[in-house]
Every structure is written in C-alpha cells, then in structure tokens.
Amino acid sequence: MTSIRTLAAPVCLAAWRTWRRMVPQDGYRALLFHDVPPSQRQTFAVLVGRLHTEGRLISPARAAAGAKGVLLTFDDGFQSNLEVAETILAPLGVQALFFICPGLSSLSGSAQAEAIGRNVFDGKRSAGDLRIMDWDGVERLRALGHEIGSHTQDHLRLTALGPDARAEQIEGAAEAFKTRLGAVPEWFAYTFGDAWSVDADALARIARLHRFCRSGVRGVNTADTHPHALRADHVELGGNESWRWLAVEGGLDPFYRKARAHLDAMAAGLQA
C-alpha cells in the first residue's frame, strides 16, 4: 500500500532542498541509528557512502570542536553496530559515536535477551535474535577509532526513577566505563530520546560527569546549541528513501520546535 507519506516525501524533499539552498545550514546534524539488520545494510551503506563522497561526514572529535557536517551515532550497542563498523565504516575511514549501556554489555544469554526486551524495547517486543555487543566488542570499536558514549547503565527511562536509581544509571554507568575503559565518556545520550524522557535533575547529573548530552530530538547543532541539549535525527532505514533524506537534511525539524524549546529550557537552568 502506498501511504500518503510515501507520496508526499519526494515533493517535501525537493521543496526542502530548494529552501536549504537559499538558507544554508550551519553546525552539524547527528544521525541516530539503532540496530542495523542485514536486510538494511545495503540501504545504510548507500546513505553513508553518499555522505562520505560528498565530504559531509565528521568525526565525534570534530563535532565536539563545532565543525559543520554530519555525525553518525548509534544507540544501545547492538552487535550489528560492530558488524557495520567493521564492514562499512572502516573501509571508508569513517569514525562514529556509539552509545553503550555497561549493564547490558555485561549480560549474556537469556538474561541479556530479557533485559533487551524489557529495557530497550520498553516491554513492547522481545529481543528475538538481537544481541548487545560485549566488552570485547566495545574495545574493538575503540580500536577502530570510534568514540564510546554512555547510554545509562541498563537502558532505563530516567524520568521514571527515584534518586538512588538515577545515580545508579548515570553515575554508576560512568564508574563502570572508568573501570572497563579507563575513563568516563565525554558523551552521554539519555534513553528514549524524546524531550520528556529527561528532566532538569537528570540533566544536571549528566552534565556534572559528561561534556555533551545528546537527545533524540530532531534539529541541527550549532554554536548556540547547549552542549547538554544536543539534537539528533533518527533515520529509518526501512522506510521510503525521500523520507530518509528529508530526515537527514533537516526537513522534519519544523515539527520538533516545542520539543527543542522544552529541552533548551532545562539545559538553560543548568549551573555553569
């Protein structure tokens, strides 16, 4: 069935590109991926290949320095992320940012599968064949030149937790990274990503330990964006191509003004 979205996407994309030519974009966009299953690898490779050819991809270090471009980020540490890093990113020399949950990477077998279903998918589906990479996998990512960020200890929704559990998920995760990798990550991405899955208290805890906090709220990151209210664009690899490029090029930004304002208000309240 052809949805309205499928029909409208090419028109929206063309209109957006015309507008963008008149108003060039400053700053960088963080693209957000999760699991990249074998059935979507080709789509992913085409997308990344094109961004690479156009010279638009930037490393986490360059994003941290405020460069203009597109940063690739991956949430949850799925095993497929490592495969993608080895087979698609490494040949291009592309460096990306991977957000890992230490508690999930330390689990294996059925215990990990249960935790994926309960925490990552919020109980809405089961893990199936999906697995999270172990610490050897995380080490391999680092050896390939990628940056590791914290995605909470166990992938819990911070706003649903009391003070002790928040400490375990934010400060506890930082401690786990320090033990396993020798340092607290500069980057943090809170779980679920919408502007209402974090609050001022959680953001303050994150800001005390991490230089950057990335949300899942769509938008561009400029010099004016608060480092603890960074935006990211979730990219659907299974969907329509024009719709995907619309997300990559910021065409969906107008729908997230309210979310960005909410996030910015919380970040503005953080003590310098």
**Which is closer to Zn ion, CB of 75 or CB of 134?**
75
Shortest Cβ contact with Zn ion: which residue? 75
Element (H, E) at 73: strand 69-75
**What is the contact surface with Zn ion in residues (CB under 5 A)?**
75-76, 191
**Which is closer to Zn ion, CB of 188 or CB of 245?**
188
**In angstroms, what is the minimal distance from the CB of 188 to Zn ion?**
12
**In angstroms, what is the minimal distance from the CB of 238 to Zn ion?**
18
* Nearest residue to 60 (alpha-carbon basis) of 49, 76, 50, 74: 74
DSSP 8-class letter at 57: B
**Which is closer to Zn ion, CB of 191 or CB of 225?**
191
**Backbone phi, psi, residue 23, to 5°:** -125, 85
**In angstroms, what is the minimal distance from the CB of 191 to Zn ion?**
5
**Which is closer to Zn ion, CB of 44 or CB of 245?**
44
Query: Helix, strand, coil % (nearest 5) of the chain?
Result: 50, 10, 40
**Which is closer to Zn ion, CB of 76 or CB of 253?**
76
**In angstroms, what is the minimal distance from the CB of 34 to Zn ion?**
7
**In angstroms, what is the minimal distance from the CB of 48 to Zn ion?**
20
Q: How many CA atoms lie within 13 A of 122 on its CB side?
A: 6
Rounded CA gap, 172 and 214, in Å?
Answer: 19
